[in-house]
Amino acid sequence: MKKGFSYIMSVIFYSCFGLFLVLFHGIQWVCFYGFGYRAQKNAVELLNFFLLGFLNLLGTCVQFDHPNPLPKDRSFIFVANHQSTYDIPPIIWYLRKHHPKFISKKELGKGIPSVSFNLRHGGALLIDRKNPKEAIQSIQVFGKRLTENKHSAVIFPEGTRSRDGKIKPFQKAGLSTLLKHMPDALVVPISIGNSWRFAEHKYFPMPLGIPLKIKVHPALEIIPGENEKLFETIETIVRKGVKTLQ
């Protein structure tokens, strides 16, 4: 009975989800080419507000724990574990004041309504995982640009999504490059829990009643010469946080 109901609700969910991706692709196009960055950013934020609302159709409650206010005049490096596609909308919506920009694989820059447009035109960085040297050079430029504009980076150092909720080892290259080229930024570890369960059946049917839990930890200063220690601290904080969310 419950499994059958999950199929029905999944169809409704994906119908709403897909419709709004297509609708907001056009809205983003008009906003970006007609009014510029700020208008396009507002459109993306509104889209992700609706996407979070559609999760409610599945009985999902998004618990975004962010008890420590962040200053508005700084750039940030948000460092999170990665479990599913649905990690993204809460970060975009709840951290919207800090202009979060994602580092994503270049394949996502094509073929996905709204998502690909935002990645190409909204300030994100698309990298070629098969060309690590070029990717690191791109991250260097990306970090400098974010610092100049007081925008923020979002990076998932595992490099890929966890299929079972267990955190993979953090890869150093990308995050270490950001730490080096955004020395004035604050680093904010983020722990994400339960999101992997959306992908248990390869996203169909979607499970019902899953609490999506996200914990934003206190910000950390970047201290010159101590990036290696900071890297280890970030990974430890994220790992411990995920355990508390299970």
Report whether 92 contacts 44 (CB < 8 A): yes
pLDDT of residue 134: 96
Domains and CATH numbers, the chain: 2-245 (3.40.1130)
The string of pLDDT tens digits covering residues 77-94 is: 999 999 999 999 999 999
The string of pLDDT tens digits covering residues 7-60 is: 999 999 999 999 999 999 999 999 999 999 999 999 999 999 999 999 999 999
Q: Calculate mean pLDDT across residues 108-117.
A: 97
Question: Taking the mean position of all CA atoms in its chain, how far away is CA 97?
Answer: 14
Report whether 102 contacts 88 (CB < 8 A): yes
Structure tokens at 150: 């007081």
Asked if the model's pLDDT at residue 151 lies above 90, the reply is yes
In order, the DSSP letters of 44-83 are HHHHHHHHHHHHGGGT-EEEEE--S---TTS-EEEEE---
The string of pLDDT tens digits covering residues 177-227 is: 999 999 999 999 999 999 999 998 889 999 999 999 999 999 999 998 899
Distance CA 246, CA 233 (A): 21
Q: How many residues are recorded in the chain?
A: 246
In order, the DSSP letters of 129-168 are TT-HHHHHHHHHHHHHHHHHHT-EEEE-TTSS--SSSPPP
| φ, ψ at 232 (rounded to 5°) | -65, -40
Q: Calculate mean pLDDT across residues 166-177.
A: 93
* Residue written as token pair 């490099």: 159
Amino acid letter, residue 233: T
Q: Which of 59, 188, 44 is nearest to 124 (CA)?
A: 44
E strand or H helix that includes residue 43: helix 37-55
Q: Calculate mean pLDDT across residues 124-130.
A: 94
Asked if the model's pLDDT at residue 120 lies above 70, the reply is yes
Distance CA 101, CA 95 (A): 10
pLDDT of residue 97: 96
pLDDT of residue 164: 84
Asked if the model's pLDDT at residue 1 lies above 80, the reply is no
